[in-house]
Amino acid sequence: MESRKFCIFALSYKQKKLHLYIPCWIYPFLTSVSPVLSMAAKFSHPLYEKLKSKTFVLASTSPRRREILQKLGIQDFKIMGSNFEEDLDKSKYSVDDYVLQTATYKGLSVLSHFLQSKDSNKDFIILASDTIVECEGIIYEKPSSKIDQFEKLKHIKDCKFPIYVKTAVVIFSRRNSNDSCENNWKKYGNITDVNILKDLKIDSHLESTKLTMDYENLDDSFLQLYVDSNEGAGAAGGFQIQGMGGLLFSKIEGDYNNVVGLPFTSTWRLIEKCLQ
């Protein structure tokens, strides 16, 4: 009977293995954060030392993006939400440009607030991101209601073309003297505030992950049950693949974390590039 109440949780720290007896109800939570704990204990990368001299800002209030940063071993960062309306005219952009521009404007919104804060004189890294679901050139963002969520999921299910989750990651930092004088912000066509951007370095990456829906086993009643669960209401496309939304798909090609909120390896590489 006792074995049902308690579970053994193994934790490695400083080359020692600890075994803890914990209530079983808390076990799923600890197993989800244990990669973060073991990362801090085992992975001593120079990137972490470089970050100590920076104020790291995540320009998002998404719990998923926060968790992915923590899984990367980045623990000391501020969270600042963007007030950008995310209302760009989709007809004026390709799908890739749309998600990249949206992430950029979200980052600029946070940057503007940061530069007015008490930390404005500090060296900083501001990481912004945006995620959309795309099928046949149609962009699916967060649903506005349960009806909209159902319609989005049904459209995605009925789409006969590949389904892609696209996440743009944009990092703003101060340009140092070794950087090229030709600022790389010029590629962000609609951004023209030179006074703000002239001293900035902007690094960006766009990641695509291909999804295949479980077409054979999905019907409208299943989609409605998922919508009624209230999961996915705040997520691009109206689903969360890390939850019961995973039942909607039979195959994933690419970075799973990209669907959740941030591409794992590419985010790490982009931070490395920013720190060079």
**Average of pLDDT values for 253-265?**
97
Question: Are 27 and 113 members of one domain?
Answer: no
Question: Are 31 and 152 members of one domain?
Answer: no
**Burial grade of 201 (CB within 10 A; 0-12, 13-18, 19 or more):** buried
Provide the domain limits for residue 248: 44-275
Structural contact between residues 205 and 268, judged by C-beta atoms closer than 8 angstroms? no
Residue appearing with tokens 């579970």: 7
Question: Are 239 and 132 members of one domain?
Answer: yes
| Structural domain total, the chain | 2
In this prediction the pTM is 0.80
Query: By C-alpha distance, which of 121, 129, 169, 146 is closest to 238?
Result: 146
* pLDDT over 70 at 6, yes or no: no
Residue appearing with tokens 């969360």: 240
pLDDT tens digits along 104-119: 999 999 998 998 888 8
Question: Are 156 and 187 members of one domain?
Answer: yes
Question: Are 52 and 8 members of one domain?
Answer: no
* pLDDT over 50 at 73, yes or no: yes
**Average of pLDDT values for 90-94?**
95
Question: Are 38 and 60 members of one domain?
Answer: no
Question: Are 4 and 75 members of one domain?
Answer: no
Question: Are 59 and 194 members of one domain?
Answer: yes
Question: Are 134 and 250 members of one domain?
Answer: yes
Query: CA-CA distance, 245 to 250, in Å (whole number)?
Result: 11
pLDDT tens digits along 210-234: 999 999 899 999 999 999 999 999 9
147 Cβ partners below 8 Å, 6+ apart? Answer: none
What pLDDT, on a 0 to 100 scale, did the predictor assign at position 200? Answer: 86
Q: What is the DSSP string of 120-185?
A: TTS-EEEEEEEEEEEETTEEE---SSHHHHHHHHHHHHH--S-EEEEEEEEEEEE--TTS-SS-GG
Amino acid identity, position 88: L
List the structure tokens of 144.
């506005």
Q: Which of 130, 193, 199, 255 is catalytic?
A: 130
Question: Are 37 and 133 members of one domain?
Answer: no
Question: Are 208 and 181 members of one domain?
Answer: yes
Question: Are 108 and 214 members of one domain?
Answer: yes
Compute how many other C-beta atoms are within 10 angstroms of the C-beta atom of residue 106. 23
Q: What is the dihedral of CA 264, 266, 267, 272, to 10 degrees?
A: 130
The pair phi, psi for residue 206, each rounded to 5°, is: -120, 125
What pLDDT, on a 0 to 100 scale, did the predictor assign at position 154? Answer: 96
Q: What is the DSSP string of 110-130?
A: HHHHHTTSTTTTS-EEEEEEE
Q: What is the biggest distance separating any 2 CA atoms in the chain, rounded to whole angstroms?
A: 69
**Average of pLDDT values for 57-64?**
96
Structural contact between residues 23 and 5, judged by C-beta atoms closer than 8 angstroms? yes
Query: Is 220 considered catalytic here?
Result: no
Q: What is the CATH number of the domain that holds 90?
A: 3.90.950.10
